[in-house]
Amino acid sequence: MNDTTVTLVGNVATAVEYRDTPTGGVARFRFAVTARRWDREKELWSDGPTSFYTVSAWRTLGANLAASVSVGEPLVVHGRLRVREDERDGLRKTFVDVAALAVGHDLSRGTAAFRRTARPAGADRGPGAEYGPGAPSEAAPRLTAAPDPDPWAVAAEAAEGAAERLVTVP
C-alpha cells in the first residue's frame, strides 16, 4: 500500500470528540499548523498561513487521546494523509484528513507526565494492529484524566533526583 504518511507539529484547535462506532471507538479533532519563518529584513520570526487538518484516531489511541488532550495544547501528529473533495451548498470544497498512527505532546514547548494504561486481557496483537478502520475491534476503556501536575513541581523533583545522582570527584 502506498499511503502518504506525514508528521505535523501544531496545536489542538477544537475539543477532542470521542464516540463509539461499530468498528471501534474513534476520536476526532481539528489541528492547526502554522508555519514560522525567519524574516531577514525585519530580523524576527513571523507566522505564515495556518493550515487546518481533521485528525482521527481509532481504538486505544483514540481513547487515550480523548483522555489526554485539550484545546490549545501543542502536539506532534504522525499518520496517513488523505485529501478529499466534496460539494457542499453548491461549492466544491477540499478537506485534508490525517488518520493518526501516533500522537504526542510537543515537549519542546512544555512537559508531560506519561501514564501507561492497562491493556485488556487477550490483547496480544502486533504493533499497529489497533489503528485504522477495519482493524479488529476492542472495547475502548473509558478513561478519566488525572489532574495535571504542577510543571514547576515536576521539574523541581527531577532536578532533586539529578542532584542526588551526581558524584563528586576530589
List the grid coordinates of 2.
Answer: 502506498
Main-chain phi, psi angles of 125, to 5 degrees: -115, 165
Report the C-alpha gap between 154 and 150 in whole angstroms: 6
How much is the pLDDT for 137?
43
Identity at 147, one-letter amino acid code: P
pTM of the predicted model as reported, rounded to 2 decimal places? 0.67
List per-residue pLDDT tens for the chain, 170 residues long. Answer: 688 999 999 999 999 999 999 988 999 999 999 999 888 998 999 999 999 999 999 999 999 999 999 999 999 999 999 999 999 889 999 999 999 999 999 999 999 999 988 876 655 454 444 444 444 444 444 445 445 555 555 555 555 554 444 444 54
Virtual torsion, Cα 27, 29, 32, 33, nearest 10 deg: 20
Q: Are 27 and 94 in contact (CB under 8 A)?
A: no
Report the C-alpha gap between 133 and 59 in whole angstroms: 9
Domains and CATH numbers, the chain: 4-165 (2.40.50.140)
Distances (CA, A) of 134 to 1, 23, 80, 120: 15, 7, 15, 19
Q: Are 32 and 13 in contact (CB under 8 A)?
A: yes
